[in-house]
Amino acid sequence: MSPLFLTIAYYTKGTSYETLAQNLRNSCKSYDIPLVLKPIDDLGSWERNTHYKAEFVLECLNTYSQNLLYVDVDAVFRSYPILIDTLDCDIAYRTENFRWRSNEALSGTIYLNNNERVKTLVSQWIKLNVEVPASRYAPETWEQANLQRAVISDPQINYYNLPPEYTYIFDHTKKLYKDIKPVIEHFQESRNAHKNKR
């Protein structure tokens, strides 16, 4: 049975993310998960390259008819994401409470129902990214914070909090949830490559 979603990801050409993209591609092939992988030119900074995420998502919503599963390109699938085929919501991503920050939106894995409400939501996300330029030293300016603002401000949006297995950060999630196995594992390449971008 074919997945009921299309996985999408992007990376900046000529960076470490280009190499990591092959890992994502291989993991998708392992579980017969369709993948659209887009290389982009460097937009000038890590901040601009990460803020591009919202524009890429809207482009895909307008290009493809399927529901979408966005994943950061430094992630891999560890098993087939069964939950994604069953979701009945507009948007789903993980919101986590960390020791250093509570109620943090994790946008490394995002499910998006391909409907007009979600397109409007993503347009608002793009608008907030323009209004709040990102600084790597100010988490409140990051694209995931703007996504969270857009979701909270729209009472029509049906949001679902993904379980931690679906945005499993290789070190932090392992410490928070010792007994779970990742479905989609993230390796946080941004810690090593702020200057080389996504």
Tens of each residue's pLDDT in the chain, 198 residues: 567 899 999 998 988 888 899 999 999 999 999 999 999 999 988 888 899 999 999 999 999 999 999 999 999 999 999 999 999 999 999 998 766 567 789 999 999 999 999 999 999 999 999 997 777 777 778 899 999 999 999 999 999 999 999 998 866 667 677 788 999 999 864 544 444 444
The per-residue pLDDT for 30 is 96
Among 106, 84, 87, CA closest to 95: 106
- Please tell me what DSSP assigns to residue 167: G
Residue 32 is assigned to a structural domain of this protein: yes
- Please tell me what DSSP assigns to residue 93: E
- Domain interval for residue 102: 5-193
Residue 59 Cα distances to 21, 62, 191, angstroms = 20, 5, 27
CA distance 130 to 42: 17
Residue 23 is assigned to a structural domain of this protein: yes
Using an 8 Å Cβ cutoff, are 85 and 5 in contact?
yes
The per-residue pLDDT for 101 is 62
Query: What's the total number of domains in the chain?
Result: 1
CA distance 110 to 70: 5
Q: How many CA atoms lie within 13 A of 28 on its CB side?
A: 25
CA distance 31 to 35: 11
Residue 93 is assigned to a structural domain of this protein: yes
The CATH number given to whatever domain includes residue 23 is 3.90.550.10
Residue 198 is assigned to a structural domain of this protein: no
The per-residue pLDDT for 173 is 64
Residue 176 is assigned to a structural domain of this protein: yes
Q: Is 8 exposed, middle or buried (0-12, 13-18, 19+ CB in 10 A)?
A: buried
